[in-house]
Structures are given as structure tokens and as C-alpha cells.
Structure 1
């Protein structure tokens, strides 16, 4: 049976900041992912799942459970590295980067993977069953209702996001594997807030609300009904726009290493962080990386001040001091005018 096509990213109406934050992470994963906050029915999950058609292709070691990069020994799993050190040529396949989803209610073993103690004791061999973090290596890891995750799963995500490695320990046995991923989370603040430690791990944060323009709301209804009537035909009608968007992102990725910024740009980044009383330096770095990415998306090789201001809207809302997230309103634009 043919799998029903996902709702096209190009067919999403409005929510420009959300779409921009997602596209920026596809171009530059080092930004650190995005947290999407908003009420029910605002296309949060639809937008993330629609990224699957826009993700680039990547080379992976054939048969590797972690999809290691065959050209980067520094990020390889131990098995691939050992084979390489023995002089073995690593065969490679090409596949599209995937959206790996952490299901609601997933167990710790499902997330981290499991060690087979019985086999280890009987045969003296360590047998590891990889989990979601293994599948998510070099991929996009999507967590819906991220604010409802159990604390022990949050801790595991924090450790993996910080170290880029997942370590599973049982009794006297231990297995580690690479777990570098772009983290994307969606949540409804009405159902509870997210732990500050995990909130800070998201590079960008956007707030989405229901559209207030009557024409836009009508368009949402009409497009959704067309999709439900015939998802295959609807998806085909957006193929050209989807291909154009994919090429746009590919051009931005190619241009990204060539984008330059001046001292004035750094001055603006620091001035904004100080004026808004942003804690730490992670926000500064993320703001600059995002500004560089925004310039690449517009096919410019020079960052402009407007890029920094736009980046601040995406990189700083969840980092402002003395502002409870439950009351967070994205009014940074008004404050930037006074910087």
C-alpha cells in the first residue's frame, strides 16, 4: 500500500518565524535546533514533519547502525573507526537526512538502547540493541509535546545534546556511540512549561499563534480540505514549489562558509545581549550563527545589521532574564529599537 504523502511545507500558510527558524537549521545545524511553542492547531507538528521533503542527502557508511560519515573519523562509532584503522575501505551509501521522531510515552530503553546482559554472561560478548538516539545520529530528532517528557528522558537528551555521545551502562558493561542531532521540539505552554536546562539547549525559540487575518484563515481551511480530499494530487500540485525551496536551501548551504561579517556586526550582537540582559554567551554565539545563516538564505555573502536584529527575534526570547516563560511574549522587536 502506498504511503500517504505528508502535507507539503510549501503549502503552510503564515507562521513565517517558525518556517524561517526551521529553514535556518536545515542550512546550518550548528545553530542548535528550535523549540516551537504555541496553542493547539497551529501547524507545529505539520511543519516539522513536512521538513522530510526538504532535507538534504548525506553519505553514510554502508550497514552502520549510526549512519557514520565515511569521511570524518572524528565522529565515527568505534566499529567504523576500528575498520578504518585496519586499512579497510568503508563502503558508503547515499540517503536523505531523516526526521526521527521520539514517540510520546517512549521508555528509557527505547530512547537510549539496551544491553543484552544474558548474552554477555553466556557468550562473553556485548550485544547492544540501538535506540532512537542511535537512529537520530546526524539526523533531525523531533520531540512532540517535549514539555511532557519524563525527567529521566530529559536528562538523557541533555547529556547526548551536550556531549554528542550516548552512553549506556548496565552492571559492569558500557557502550557508547555518536549521537549528534538537530533537536526540534514542539509544545503547548498551556500543558506545562519546559525545564530551563532543556529550554536553553534549543538554539532558537519561536511562538506561534492562530492566524488573525480572515483571508489567511480561509486559505488554511481550503488547503487542508483539498489535502484531505486527495493528498496525492495536492502534494503533486506543490512539487514545483517544494523543489524550488529545496534548491534554495542547497544554495544557502553552499554559500554559508563564504559569508563574512564585520566588527560592526559583532558589536551589534554584544550590544543587543547586554541591553536585553541575556545570561551567558550561548545566546551571542547563536545570534551570530543565525545572522550568518539568514544572509546565506538571501544569497548574500555579507551579514547586515538587519540580519542580527532578525536573528535576535529567534535566538533570544527563551534567554531573557527575569521573564517567566509562561508569560513570554515576543516583543523583542520593540526593545531592539532602543538598543
Structure 2
């Protein structure tokens, strides 16, 4: 059952006050308005009587502003490189990711089991799609459809074949050979969410990172081979108490958000009331944020179309690069994440130029946890050794 049918199953409920889209100047402002929304006058004493699971609304989360902003920005601009949420249990990491479902935009997705899209024909010709899709294309039948971006969750105990794909046993029993799409292929143009990413096996995480970097991957099994697209937005979450993330994996995540519990007593009490109301009647609670969700989805779709127009002035780019150099950050992914996230922030406010304030807002999320004491010491020791070698050479040649 969809939320659109809510009123049929809950007659007589009071109307939810509408939010005027014209009064919202940016997604940042919308986050503040939704987070501070007063829900005390709603009556949640009744039970919805429906067992269908519904996710807690993203905009209804109290506090955690940086986390919400980071997730929205990475949806607007996938070039950011995804988001890593780090923090203790109970700080809304998983809740925030799953709650994104109500504000995700629409994208063109494949209706084929092999993931064929019209763009594959544009790039590789008719041989770029499977025979069935080639036939449909010749008959002017669509091989794709527009649907909302999906959140594809990777289970912690997933084996490598499920991640990349394998021989389809149903076809194999009928003496036919066919490669089944894996989770990475299903995540193409969607969000791939990995909870407890620090606990994944090395083999699995390496496959995911390689596929994310290339935007595609090839599966070979027996005499079969197939290449699948894997252009997904990667979101991971972890509790540092349960183990660290390898540096080469950490570097692949664009934005890094450190979550913590709410400090303000009033915020903690408000969070309790909201969760209590949600558990009592999730359908009605989600309805409270219906207008904000619709506005956020439209604003995100507009920003995704506009972000490629955003430019960065050379003076502001120099400011960002100097900041990165002064922090002794060596990875060039720092610039990529900082500037692409700043683009997304500007696009979310319908601006075609990045400002210094954008860089200031993004810098903590983009640059934290990128410095390495070991690498700095290694480079210093190497420079000292080079100087010693040159000194000895000069002495010999005197």
C-alpha cells in the first residue's frame, strides 16, 4: 500500500498543514524547517493497523545537520564519491540512509535482466545490448523506464558471487548458460548502502571499490563473460568501536561525517517523542512530512540537472588547494571531493558559482580523516635520505 492511499484507510484525520514551496529558498533551509517542525498537536493515540514496514522520514530526524546535508549533496552530485558515516550506535546513521527513500529523484533505469540501456547503444552500437533488447530497439519498443533511485543494501554476510554475479542456476538446469546480475549491477544509477562497512571481507570490499572506480566490471565464469555497469553512489556507515577501516578504503569515500549523540536536552526529548509517535502510527507520522518530502525531491531533481553548470573561480580554487596543502593532505581525491561537493551546494541554492562560504561549509566533511602521520613521516624520512645521498655524492666528486 502506498502513502497515497493513507486517507482511505484513516478517514477523519485532520489535514496536515501544507508547506509553501515559494517560501523555501534552499535545501539547507528546508532541512532546518523540517527538523524544527512542531508535531506536538498531532494525535497519535490510535494504531494504523498496518504491518507493512515504513522507514522513518529523513527530514524528521532531529539534529544531525551535517549528516543530512552530506547525504543530500552526494545525491545531487555522484561525482563527490559517496559518504561515510562514522559514529556510535543509536545516532541515526542507518535511519537517515533508509529514510532517503521518500526524497530520492527519478532516473532512467533498465527493464532488462542484463541492465541494458539506450545509452549502451549510443556508445557501442546495437552490439552493446543483449539480443532481446536489440530486437525491442529495432521495433521501437522501450528498453528502459523512469523510476525512483533505489537504495540497494549490501548484507554483511554476502558472498562474492552475490555481489558481482554468477551463472543463473535456473537457466543452467535447462541446459542454458546465462550470467545473473549481481548486487553491483543492480545498484547501477542507484545508491549502494553498506552498513558496518568496516566488517566486510577484503575480497568483497575490493570488488566494490574497483567497480565503483571504473563504473563497470566484468564477470567471467566458465566459458561465459559479461560486462555490467556499476555507476552507483556509495554510502557506508560504521561504528569505530567495532574496528577501523583500511586507509585505502577510507580514501575512496568522498565526504566523511562523524555522528554523535544530541547534546541538547530538549533535542533528545523531541527525538524521543518523534520516534514514539512514529512507532505508534508510521503512516500518519510520515504524512506530516509529505509536503517537505515532495519539495525536497523536486529541489534535488532540479539541482541534479543544474550542477554541471556550476563553475569555480580560480581564486576560490586556489584557496581550496592552499587549504589542502596546509593540512598536509596528499590524496588528490581531497580536491575532487571538496570542489564537487561545493558545486552541489551551489546547485542546491540555484547558483552557478562556488563561493568561499561553500568551501568553508564543505571543508570539514571533505577533508577530515585524510591526513596520515605515517605518510608524512615516511616522506620526511625519504627527503632526509635523498639529502644524505646527494651530500655524499657531492663529497665524493669534490
Please give the TM-score of this superposition, normalised by the length of structure 1: 0.87
- Give distance in 1, aligned partners of 2:169 and 2:61: 48
Distance in 2, Cα, partners of 1:78 & 1:198 = 35
- Alignment of 1:223 with 2:271, yes or no, is no
Q: Structure 1 residue 174: deviation in Å?
A: 2.5
Quickly say closer, same or farther: Cα 1:245–1:310, change in 2 above 3 A: same
Answering whether residue 107 of structure 2 is matched by residue 58 of structure 1, we say yes
Structure 1 residues 38, 323: CA separation in 2 closer, same or farther (over 3 Å shift)? farther
Q: Superposition pairs for residues 262-277 of structure 1, below 5 Å?
A: 262-277=313-328
The structural deviation recorded for 1:264 is: 0.9
Structure 1 residue ranges, 4+ long, deviating more than 4 angstroms after superposition:
75-79, 81-87, 116-123
CA pair 76-8 structure 1, distance change in 2 beyond 3 A: farther
What aligned pairs does 1:1-339 form with structure 2 within 5 A after superposition?
3-66=52-115, 68-71=116-119, 73-74=122-123, 80=129, 88=138, 89=140, 91=142, 92-115=144-167, 123=175, 126-322=177-373
SS of corresponding position for 2:129: helix
Secondary structure at 2:248 match in 1:
helix
- Label 1:75 to 1:58 Cα distance change in 2 as closer, same or farther (>3 A): farther
- CA distance in 1: counterparts of 2:268 and 2:110, whole angstroms: 46
Q: Deviation string for 1:177-223 (max 9, x for gaps)?
A: 11111100000000001122211111111100001111111111000
Q: Please report the RMSD computed on the Cα atoms of aligned residues, expressed in angstroms.
A: 2.6
Separation of aligned partners in 2, 1:152 and 1:247: 39
Deviations 1:3-36 (A, max 9, x none): 3321111101111111111000111111111000
User: Is the alpha carbon distance of 1:18 and 1:77 closer, same or farther for their aligned partners in structure 2, counting shifts above 3 Å?
Assistant: farther
CA distance in 1, matches of 2:267, 2:233: 30
Structure 1 contact 77–177 (Cα < 8 Å) conserved: no
**Structure 1 unaligned residues grouped into runs of 5+:** 325-339
CA contact (8 A) 2:197 2:236 kept: yes
Instruction: Please say if residues 104 and 144 of structure 1, whose CA atoms lie closer than 8 Å, have aligned partners that are also in contact.
Output: yes
SS of the residue corresponding to residue 319 of structure 1 reads: coil
Structure 1 residues 207-250: Cα deviation after superposition (integer angstroms, max 9, x where no partner): 00001111111111000000000001101111111112212222
Contact 1:60 1:70 in 2 (8 A): no
Judging changes above 3 Å, is the alpha-carbon distance between structure 1 residues 40 and 127 closer, same or farther for their aligned structure 2 residues? Answer: same
User: Which residue in 2 is equivalent to 1:329?
Assistant: none
Aligned-pair CA distance for 1:119 = 6.6
Say if 1:241 and 1:198 are closer, same or farther in 2 by CA, change over 3 A: same
Q: Which residue matches 2:378?
A: none
For 1:20-64, what per-residue CA distance to the aligned partner results, in whole angstroms no more than 9, with x for missing partners?
110001111111110000000000000000111111111234334
Q: What displacement does 1:99 show?
A: 0.3
8 Å contact 2:114–2:130 — kept in the other structure?
Answer: no
In structure 2, C-alpha distance between the alignment counterparts of 1:318 and 1:191, rounded to whole Å: 17
8 A Cα contact 1:4 1:232, kept in partner: no
Report deviation, 1:323: 8.0
Distance 1:53 1:228 in 2: 18
The residue matched to 1:4 in structure 2 has which SS?
Answer: coil
Contact 2:105 2:298 (8 Å CA) reproduced: no
Secondary structure of 1:201 counterpart: coil
- Kept after mapping to 2: 8 A contact 1:141/1:181: yes
* Matched residue count: 322
**Conserved? CA contact 1:9–1:47, under 8 Å:** yes
Quote how far apart the aligned CAs of 1:86 are: 10
**In 2, Cα distance between equivalents of 1:213 and 1:252:** 33
Structure 2 portions without partners, runs of 5+: 2-49, 376-398
C-alpha distance in 2 between matches for 1:187 and 1:166: 26
For the pair shown, the structure with the greater C-alpha radius of gyration is: 2
Label 1:143 to 1:53 Cα distance change in 2 as closer, same or farther (>3 A).
same
